[in-house]
Structure 1
Amino acid sequence: MIRVVIVDDQVLVREGLRALLARTDDIEVVGEASDGDAAVRVVARTAPDVVLMDIRMPGTDGITATRRIVGATPSTGTHVVVLTTFDGEDNILDAIGAGAVGFLVKNSAPEELRAAVRNVANGDAMLSPAVTRRVMQAAARSPRTRETEVLKVLTDREREILVEIGSGLSNDEIGRKLFISPATVRTHVTRILAKLHARDRANLVAIAFRTGLVSPTDP
């Protein structure tokens, strides 16, 4: 069973998410919280696989709570998926920096929600096209880091793969585009993560844009 904690200050949102996740045989909601401080305590007590985390909450916000959860459980396998409405300036890059590995729009279809939980529990990042576009927009407003300082440790092939990661492609999609196997892509991704000291795939997306390797205007 995939163990999930839901964090949102709105009771109806928590109940709705719980009801949607309850309609599966492999996902179990083991806790809820209405603010960041409570989320940290619930996660410490229940050790979930996935946390669905709202960004805007009274008191301790979701980004701060994510940073505390990821920092306290680096080896337990707890992954944070940020819940967003995209109705304002959600701090996507800040959430990635805090350790979130997935982003989910609150009005996502039920199957998208379940797929996100399963993918993240399996160790994959969850970056939808809508989220990737928002990362592009946020990166366009962020100070750029000189590419040579950050990316000089990568091989040409690794840079090529990082471009595709920044464009939001999965390992299978990258493999098809570059005519290499998904296993080879995974090997390259692992090396890129190590070389760039990146926590996860979401971090790589942010790096691709912050360094200018991928432009917000690229298709």
Structure 2
Amino acid sequence: MVAVVDDASLIRDSVGLLMPGLDVVAAVATVEELLRRRPVADLVLLDLHLANLEAQPDVRQGVAAIRAVTGRGYRVCVYSQEERRFVLAACLAAGASGVVAKALPTGRAEQLFREVAAGGVVVPQSVVGILEVLVRRDCITLLSERQRQLLHGRARGLSYAQVAKQLFVSESTLRGYWLDLTRSLSESLRSLTPAEIEHALGLAPGDLLEFWPGEGTDARDWWRVGSGG
């Protein structure tokens, strides 16, 4: 069962029709409406940009919206046009279990939504590259050598089949490794501070403050994060 939060009525009305494998139990325009209705759902599909803050200053979006929804016990998958990799990484750091691009074919998007609803973690390729750098520079350390090899291959765009051949394991075994790895990386990402990530990636102090979740974040602070839709 899936709930959809998107201010575009076309998206709200079409998800259930175009993705017949999803049982859409609620389709609303704001996080506030979702939390008022409290539908029973295995997953919430959440757009990042939900309203014009000047017209509706109390509407939560971006990282603030992710935190509000996950704080009520929902699994969240961001469904957005956003492409900036630090913004997407910040979504995972704020508690989202997946990020799916609206540009993907509907069949592929539905498959990814089902993976997240079943307990998986979907990490965009651009964010995999960030995580690989953090692991390589010992900012994230709780990984086995095999997991590091797998992350290295995936960060370079290799398919499961290609990496499986390199590591002499079956593709199905590798997919199981990847599920465990993405869960571990997602949890580790949530514990990092902007300063730690800036240092590991060679960024200037304060470069991530526009994107990275922090205590007391509200909708106004995250207008830029949600601006990609």
Normalised by the size of structure 2, how large is the TM-score? 0.63
Distance 1:109 1:36 in 2: 25
Question: For residue 11 of structure 2, what is the amino acid of its counterpart?
Answer: V
Distance 1:85 1:191 in 2: 26
Corresponding residue SS for 1:69 = helix
Do structure 1's residue 97 and structure 2's residue 87 form an aligned pair?
no
- Which residue of 146, 150, 153 maps to 1:161? 150
Do structure 1's residue 50 and structure 2's residue 43 form an aligned pair?
yes
Any conservation in 1 of the 2:153–2:163 contact (CA below 8 Å)?
yes
Matched residues, number: 184
Cα-to-partner distance string for 1:154-198 (whole Å, 9 max, x where unaligned): 44333222323544667666433311244366358637855x6x4
Unaligned segments of structure 1, at least 5 residues: 204-209, 213-219
Aligned match of 2:122: 126
Aligned match of 1:82: 78
Per-residue deviation, 1:71: 3.1
Normalised by the size of structure 1, how large is the TM-score? 0.65
Distance 1:188 1:11 in 2: 35
Percent identity between matched residues is 23
Aligned match of 1:217: none
Any conservation in 2 of the 1:84–1:90 contact (CA below 8 Å)?
no
> Which structure's relative contact order is higher, taking Cα pairs within 8 Å and 6+ residues apart?
2
Aligned match of 1:69: 69
Corresponding residue SS for 2:23 = strand
Question: For residue 46 of structure 1, what is the amino acid of its counterpart?
Answer: P
Aligned match of 2:5: 7
1:100-111 superposed matches below 5 A: 100-111=96-107
Corresponding residue SS for 1:68 = helix
Corresponding residue SS for 1:119 = helix
RMSD of aligned residue pairs (Cα, Å): 3.7
Aligned match of 1:216: none
- Which residue of 15, 22, 30 maps to 2:25? 30
The more displaced of 118-127 and 185-194 is 185-194
